[in-house]
Amino acid sequence: MSSSRYDAIVIGAGHNGLVTACYLARAGLRVLVLERRYIVGGACVTEETFSGFKVSTAAYVNSLFHTQIVRDLKLASYGYEVLPRDPASFTPFPDGRSLMMGRDPELTRKEIAKFSTRDAERYPRYEAMLERVAAVIEPTLTMRPPDLLRPRLGDLSAALSLRRSFQGLGDAAGEAVEILTGAARPILDRWFESEELKGTLATDAIIGAMASPSMPGTAYVLFHHVMGEAGGARGVWGYVRGGMGGVTQALAAAARDLGVDIRCDAEVARILVEDGRAVGVALATGDEYRAPIVASNADARVTFLRLLERDTLPDAFVADVERISYASASVKINVALAELPSFRALPGTEAGPQHRGTIHISPDQDYIERAFDDAKYGRPSAEPVLECTIPSAVDPTVAPPGRHLMSMFVQYAPYDLRDGSWDEQREAFADRCFDVLNDYAPNFKDAVLDRQVLAPPDLERVFNLTGGNIFQGAMTPGQLFAFRPVTGYASYRTPLCGLYLCGAAAHPGGGVMGTPGLNAAREILRRRRLRRVARRSS
């Protein structure tokens, strides 16, 4: 048993765990972070998977990371830098045409007008509508959601500020409700007529979701992706210099400077419970560490059902955790390339605008629906939706000179296959994805030097993400805000005194935001202050 004592232990060094650790340390607490992998970062990490390449193994673009955290922790001084991408997206079509969209409104207007002049005119109004809703929703991201089962005075002020924000929306309130709860497809169908535009926009609605754009809940995922301003302006996604690990390496350096003790290769096997409260953790090696505060960056299923004995938690709570949906259908393929893909729609192997943003292989909404149909019946899509990014086209530090790195995010590939196993299907599915891209960029397959294929069970194994769900739990209306991770426990507290959730499993959920970690730290410090006041006055 280790004799070390800490004020707080954080289980997991994902970006949220590190954010929590930093804010607790800034408040004067002695903090220990225990990470099961050899490296900090969780799903926001850079690894040298291929010699000489800096691979963002999981997350690959950044917009949501909260600017307050960057400022408070002076992350720029630790090397954190976002490289905005412009244009933001390029969608090639089978007929040789293409659609490019970005920050330049004139370029976007002209590009959309190739398919519909009506849509080109409407697009700025659509963006303005999303901005109005975002202005209301963004403040809720840093809010402690109200406790619907045991409302407190603080919840009342949260409810009132929500009501005020909604009132501010005026006539757009109905549309906001549809965005927060509804399906993306009817919204896109109402706004636009061009399938090319809708197919491009709809991809944002399905990222990480086991759902097609016509299913309720996907409008929020679409909206989630227009929030954030880490890329320099709202909804502008950027690359992090040196890969996404640039976020977590900067956080870890800031944490160390604040006195945080970070240990890698330190898997927590058990949360220690005495007299109904969490008092520390035991590692798989048997070492024990004690602290009155334990914050878990692992997902809810791992935290409550794997690290705790069931009889330490109320039965109803355990049943709620068992009901959380981890449905997932995302595969990540990292590819080392000898040259850039040359698209039939815009040929060239010199870095051009078609290489800088996200390359969507998603010609229309029906294509996405068909891809989902396969997954619904337990099959990886015959024609998958691809979202490819080439960070080396913007950031030469991630690949050796003359080489390139591609991140291929693929949907849909269900965790549970009806026939066979992922060990049998993994490489064949990756081949199919490569065939699909090769139809649009015929030099692609020949340019491949190496690849890493992460199917849902691989994401689970590598990152301890239940079901391979990239967001530590589906981002559906029933699992957001006051319902995340389960109703009555959205305030980062848990039924066990001293135990908190501080990762994407908690409000506001997945994505490299840092807000769950920030909010959890605030809540932990608030509870600590209250306990001290109570002790002093008793």
Site for ligand FAD (CB under 6 A): which residue of 6, 8, 9, 13?
A: 13
- Of 468, 536, 475, 10, the C-alpha closest to 204 is 475
Specify the residue, 98 or 330, whose C-beta has the smaller distance to ligand FAD.
330
Please, which residues have CB within 8 angstroms of residue 442's CB and are 6 or more apart in sequence? 342, 344
Rg (CA), the chain: 23
- Of 148, 20, 173, 99, the C-alpha closest to 484 is 148
Give the position of tokens 């050899």: 38
Site for ligand FAD (CB under 6 A): which residue of 21, 42, 218, 289?
A: 42
* Number of DSSP helices (H) and strands (E) in the chain, helices first: 18, 19
Give the position of tokens 């005026």: 170
Q: Residues 308, 513: contact at Cβ < 8 Å?
A: no
User: How many chain residues bind ligand FAD (CB under 6 A)?
Assistant: 40
Q: How far is Cα 393 from Cα 396, in angstroms, rounded to an integer?
A: 7
Specify the residue, 202 or 331, whose C-beta has the smaller distance to ligand FAD.
331
* Residues between 313 and 332 with contacts to ligand FAD, criterion CB under 6 A: 330, 332
Binding flag, residue 358, ligand FAD (CB under 6 A):
no
> Which amino acid belongs to residue 504?
A
Angle at 127 between CA 175 and CA 385, to 5 degrees: 90
Q: How far is Cα 285 from Cα 236, in angstroms, rounded to an integer?
A: 44
Q: Which residues pair with 274 in a beta bridge?
A: 277
Please, which residues have CB within 8 angstroms of residue 164's CB and are 6 or more apart in sequence? none
E strand or H helix at 262: strand 261-263
Which of 117-125, 142-150, 294-302, 419-427 is the region at the interface with ligand FAD (rule: CB under 6 A)?
Answer: 294-302
Q: Please, what is the minimum distance in Å from the beta carbon of residue 437 to ligand FAD?
A: 18
Binding flag, residue 15, ligand FAD (CB under 6 A):
yes
Binding flag, residue 272, ligand FAD (CB under 6 A):
no
Binding flag, residue 451, ligand FAD (CB under 6 A):
no
Site for ligand FAD (CB under 6 A): which residue of 268, 273, 340, 447?
A: 268
* Residue 241: half-sphere exposure toward Cβ, Cα within 13 Å: 10
Binding flag, residue 464, ligand FAD (CB under 6 A):
yes
Site for ligand FAD (CB under 6 A): which residue of 8, 21, 55, 59?
A: 59
Which of 15-23, 313-321, 352-360, 394-402 is the region at the interface with ligand FAD (rule: CB under 6 A)?
Answer: 15-23
Binding flag, residue 412, ligand FAD (CB under 6 A):
no
Angle at 342 between CA 449 and CA 202, to 5 degrees: 100
Q: Please, what is the minimum distance in Å from the beta carbon of residue 357 to ligand FAD?
A: 13
Q: Is the peptide bond before 485 cis (omega within 30 degrees of 0)?
A: yes
Specify the residue, 211 or 504, whose C-beta has the smaller distance to ligand FAD.
504
Binding flag, residue 520, ligand FAD (CB under 6 A):
no
* Residues between 488 and 507 with contacts to ligand FAD, criterion CB under 6 A: 503-504
Letters for 64-103 (x = contact with ligand FAD by CB under 6 A, - = none) are: x---------------------------------------
Specify the residue, 35 or 119, whose C-beta has the smaller distance to ligand FAD.
35
Binding flag, residue 183, ligand FAD (CB under 6 A):
no
Binding flag, residue 511, ligand FAD (CB under 6 A):
yes
Reduced to 3 states, what is the DSSP secondary structure of residue 71? helix
Please, which residues have CB within 8 angstroms of residue 6's CB and are 6 or more apart in sequence? 29, 30, 31, 32, 261, 289, 290, 291
Binding flag, residue 198, ligand FAD (CB under 6 A):
no
Site for ligand FAD (CB under 6 A): which residue of 297, 334, 354, 479?
A: 297
Question: For binding to ligand FAD (CB under 6 A), which residues are involved?
Answer: 11-17, 34-37, 42-44, 58-62, 64, 267-268, 297-298, 302, 330, 332, 459, 463-465, 470-472, 503-504, 510-512, 516
